[in-house]
Chain A
Amino acid sequence: MFCIGAAAAAAAATLPSPSLSFLLEWNGSVAGDGSWLGGDAHLPLSILPLVNGTAVSFLYPSPSLSLSSLCEWRRACRDDSRRSGNRPELRSPLQRRTDAVASPQNQIPIPKLKPAGKERGAEEGDEASTGNTRRIRSGAIQRRVISLLRSKYFTVKNRISVSWSVDGVEVLVRKFGIGVSNMLRQETNGEERRLNRDEEDEEEENDRGRDAWERTYADERSWESLQEDESGLLRPIDNKTLYHAQYRRRLRTATSARIQKGLIRYLYVVIDLSRAATEIDYKPNRMVVVARQVEAFIREFFDQNPLSQIGLLTLKDGVAHCLTELGGSPESHIKALMGKLVCSGDASLQNGLDLVHSLLNQIPSYGHREVLILYSALSTCDPGDIMETIQKCKSSKIRCSVIGLSAELYICKYLCQETGGSYSVSLDEPHLKELVLEHAPPPPAIAEFAIANLIKMGFPQRAAEGVISICSCHKEAKVGGGYTCPRCKARVCELPTECCICGLTLVSSPHLARSYHHLFPITPFDDVAPSVSSDPHKVPKNCFGCQQSLLAPGNLPGLSVTCPKCKQHFCLDCDIYIHESLHNCPGCESFKHSESQ
Chain B
Amino acid sequence: MTPAASKLYTDDVSLLMVLIDTNPFFWNSIKSTLSFSKFISNVLAFLNSILLLNQLNQVVLIATGYNSCDYIFDSSASQNQNQRAESLLQKLEEFVEKDESLCREDSVDAPGFSLLSGSLSMALCYIQKVFRSGPLHPRPRILCLHGSPDGPGQYVAIMNAIFSAQRSMVPVDSCILGAQHSAFLQQASYITGGVYLKPQLLDGLFQYLSTVFATDLHSRSFLQLPKPVGVDFRASCFCHKNTIDMGYICSVCLSIFCKHQKKCSTCGSVFGQSQAQDSSTPDRKRKTSVDK
Contact = CB atoms under 8 A, between A and B. Distances in A.
B68 A590 contact: yes
A510 B129 contact: no
B122 to A, nearest CB: 5
12 contacts: A258-B267, A455-B251, A455-B279, A457-B247, A461-B230, A520-B156, A546-B125, A573-B129, A578-B125, A584-B160, A586-B125, A590-B69
Contacts of A464: 227-230
Interface in B243-292: 244-257, 260-261, 264, 266-274, 276-279, 282-287, 289-290, 292
A509 B252 contact: no
A279 B140 CA distance: 44
Interface in A214-255: none
Contacts of B36: none
Contacts of B247: 456-457, 459
Interface in A257-285: 258, 260-264
Given A574-B128, A584-B160, A454 B233 contact: no
Contacts of A580: 1
A501 B282 CA distance: 9
**What are the 4 tightest A-B residue pairs by CB atom distance, in nearest-first order?**
A545-B125, A590-B118, A509-B235, A452-B269
B271 A452 contact: yes
B103 to A, nearest CB: 8
A195 interface: no
Nearest to B261: A454
Contacts of B160: 513, 516-517, 582-584
A374 B69 CA distance: 48
B251 A362 contact: no
B252 A263 contact: yes
A519 B67 contact: no
B155 A513 contact: yes
Nearest to B66: A592
Contacts of A362: 287, 290
B286 A364 contact: yes
B252 A454 contact: no
Contact of B233 (A459, A514, A593): A459
A188 interface: no
Given A504-B246, A584-B161, 9 more contacts: A364-B290, A452-B270, A453-B250, A453-B276, A454-B261, A503-B282, A547-B129, A586-B122, A592-B68
Contacts of A516: 156, 159-160, 254
Contact of B126 (A307, A459, A465, A546): A546
Contacts of A483: 233
A512 interface: yes
A217 to B, nearest CB: 26
A263 B253 contact: yes
A458 interface: yes
Contacts of A469: none
Interface residues of B, number: 88
Given A461-B231, A584-B117, A592-B67, A512 B279 contact: no
Contacts of A487: 246, 282
B234 to A, nearest CB: 5
Interface stretch (B79-87, B141-149, B163-171, B203-211): B163-171
Contact of B245 (A361, A458, A593): A458
B253 A260 contact: yes
A73 interface: no
Contacts of A583: 160, 164
A80 interface: no
Nearest to B74: A547
A589 B157 contact: yes
A357 to B, nearest CB: 14
Contacts of A367: 251
Given A365-B292, A503-B283, A454 B115 contact: no
Which of A303, A458, A507, A592 has most B Cβ within 10 Å?
A592
A577 B248 contact: no
Contacts of B287: 362
B233 A461 contact: yes
Which of A361, A462, A515 has most B Cβ within 10 Å?
A462
A582 B127 CA distance: 12
Contacts of A456: 246-249, 277-279
Contacts of B168: 581
Interface in B132-187: 132, 153-157, 159-164, 167-168, 187
B93 interface: no
A369 B264 CA distance: 22
B61 interface: no
A547 B251 CA distance: 40
Interface string A480-503: 000100110000000100100011
B53 interface: no
Contact of A519 (B244, B245, B253, B283): B253
Nearest to B292: A365
Nearest to B161: A584
A504 B162 CA distance: 27
A583 B157 CA distance: 8
Nearest to A502: B282
A382 to B, nearest CB: 28
A454 B271 contact: yes
Contact of B122 (A445, A462, A545): A545
A417 to B, nearest CB: 25
B89 interface: no
A410 interface: no
Given A258-B267, A454-B277, A590-B69, A512 B249 contact: yes
A195 B207 CA distance: 83
Nearest to B167: A581
B228 A465 contact: yes
A454 B122 contact: no
Interface in A340-371: 361-367
A98 interface: no
A517 B154 CA distance: 13
A365 B119 CA distance: 42
Interface string A545-579: 11110000000000000000000000001100110
A364 B289 contact: yes
A456 B244 CA distance: 12
Which of B70, B102, B124, B261 has most A Cβ within 10 Å?
B124
Interface in A434-486: 445, 450-466, 483, 486
